[in-house]
Amino acid sequence: MFKHKYLFLLIVGLVGLVSCEDFLDRPPLDAIGNESYWYTSSDLERYVLQFYPEFPNHSGYVMAREDNGSDNLTVSGADPVMSGARTIRTGNWRSEWSNIRSINFFFDNYSKVEGGFETYKHFLGEAHFFKAWFYFGLLKRYGDIPWYTNTLEPNSELLMKPKDPRTVVADSILVHLDKAIEYLDARSDAGNTRINKEAALAFKTRVALYEGTWQKYHAGTPFGTTGAQPNKYLQACIDAAEELIDGSYTKGVYSTGNPNEDYYFLFGMENMSSVNEVLMYRVANASEGLGNNVQAFTTARTGGMAVTWSLVTSYLGKEGQPFDYLGLSGEMKGNDFLTEIAQNCDPRLQATVWMPGDLRAANTGNVFDKPYIDRGGEELCPSGFQVKKFSNPDSPQAGLFGSGGARDSETGYILFRYAEVLLNYAEAKFELEGVVEYDVLNLMRSRVGMPDFEVHSQNTDPNRVDYGYQIADELYEIRRERRVELALEGHRIDDYRRWAAHALFQGERPLGYPFDESEFPNLSPALNENGLIDYFAGQLPNGYLFRENRDYLDNIPQDELTLNPNLEQNPGW
């Protein structure tokens, strides 16, 4: 069993060791002498630990901001991708490849270890996981990219290599994940602050579903790959999910039997080590200067974040039927509207958005009064739907900002949780086999006291969203469940991109709640024809201008195309 305290301090030390060194000036970690390294399993462990700080964390505001740039969340400044305002990137992408080079350096040297395979098997599994992790990030950003197996030296001919098709990259990522799954210790031995077998299985479902649906929905466009086999990836997702679901692994859906609180409290915990749903998370440690400001930006300020009308209206009513939010907005405004939807809609909505009367900070007894639509900067909530998810009113940092401990929160950052695996599985099963996994979906419904999963006709949904193409009612509901369950957890951008679903928001603006002027007598926000706050009416007069022939991928930096004429620019750039 790995000791969390030792692991954390070792990682902190390694961060200090490597973060100040420029990539150009060093082969990874060989400042200590490559010839004297690589001979013990401890050498391999120390090497892979340097990559743990590359995982995302809450230190930059809060995980919810990762949904900015989607139809789930907005901040007070319009996102450049959604507004169509991006310009071609110059410079190079060297820093984005430094981790690939570093992990390849491991694979070039690890076999020098003197000792049995069992002594370093887990660390080798971690290295396979990290290579998959780093390459998946590049795949999502750039699509076709060169796949490198070994460390490249400055004079290597492979530096002039053209891009490999994204399917080659995806296949290679899955090979590394299969090795990771084979070599890694289970969570029962590794814990869930360390990469483990369950996390690797979860990651495989994520990668395989992404590529399978990308190739299905981008087929015939410049973003698809000739000869791609989407079903192969969908099957890989199903296989990995079934291994985790059916195997003797540590997993489950967190529930204490309190449907009004369990989902909410899951995301604000500091110590998640005993939560079976959390397959892997990142620890925060304020005493080592690695706390975060999640509680500051969920219980004291907003960071400019605002949940959109589009996300809110995707939640079903408490009885499991589509809820007529727009009809209600004609009868109730402001706090009355919020109170009504809190009482009559899926409890996951009240766990995600602050509602009047919610306790914000137990240490002061502060309760949520009304949203910060009349404030500015990092106190503004431009939609009236203020982010609650990830807050913890019992945290000592709840309600604090500035010098009062804003960065001392130790809220954990969930990297993989079991509910995502269940959703990946349900989506892949329907995409490949046309089968609805009701029992799987009901595990998440029952946690919050919602009725069993039910398929509704899209035509009867007053909040229907348009994907720009026809999908079955079953898939429509599976996607809805995914959006609700994973709201603000950083999946929505990946989802609309792999679904080729720019029609969801193109030409639309992120709207807010029905404004009640009696609650804000000195405020006159822009409103749409239905009385909903339309904060971005001036910034986005024509709505989101996402360019579907370009914005699904980033451009390759211009200097790279000059240095390597064998590279081709991405579509639309």
pTM of the model: 0.93
Q: Could you report the per-residue pLDDT of 241-298, keeping only the tens digit for each? A: 999 999 999 999 999 999 999 999 999 999 999 999 999 999 998 888 888 989 999 9
CA distances from 547 to 332, 433, 573 (A): 37, 32, 11
Q: Could you report the per-residue pLDDT of 430-477, keeping only the tens digit for each? A: 999 999 999 999 999 999 999 999 999 999 999 999 999 999 999 999
3-state DSSP helix/strand/coil percent for the chain, to nearest 5?
45, 5, 50
Q: What is the mean pLDDT of the chain?
A: 92
Q: What is the reported pLDDT for 16?
A: 34
pLDDT exceeds cutoff 90 at 168: yes
- Report the alpha-carbon distance of residue 305 to residue 184 in Å, rounded: 38
Q: What is the reported pLDDT for 394?
A: 95
Element (H, E) at 417: strand 413-417
- Report the alpha-carbon distance of residue 303 to residue 65 in Å, rounded: 9
- The pLDDT confidence band at residue 60, using thresholds 50, 70 and 90, is low
Q: Are 180 and 270 in contact, with CB atoms under 8 Å apart?
A: no
Give the contacts of 1 (CB within 8 A, at least 6 positions apart).
189, 190, 191
195-199, 346-350, 376-380, 491-495: segment of lowest average pLDDT: 376-380
- The pLDDT confidence band at residue 85, using thresholds 50, 70 and 90, is confident
Q: Which of 98, 131, 252 is nearest to 200 (CA)?
A: 131
Q: What is the reported pLDDT for 82?
A: 86
pLDDT exceeds cutoff 80 at 537: yes
Element (H, E) at 299: helix 296-299
Q: What is the reported pLDDT for 13?
A: 36
Residues in the chain: 573
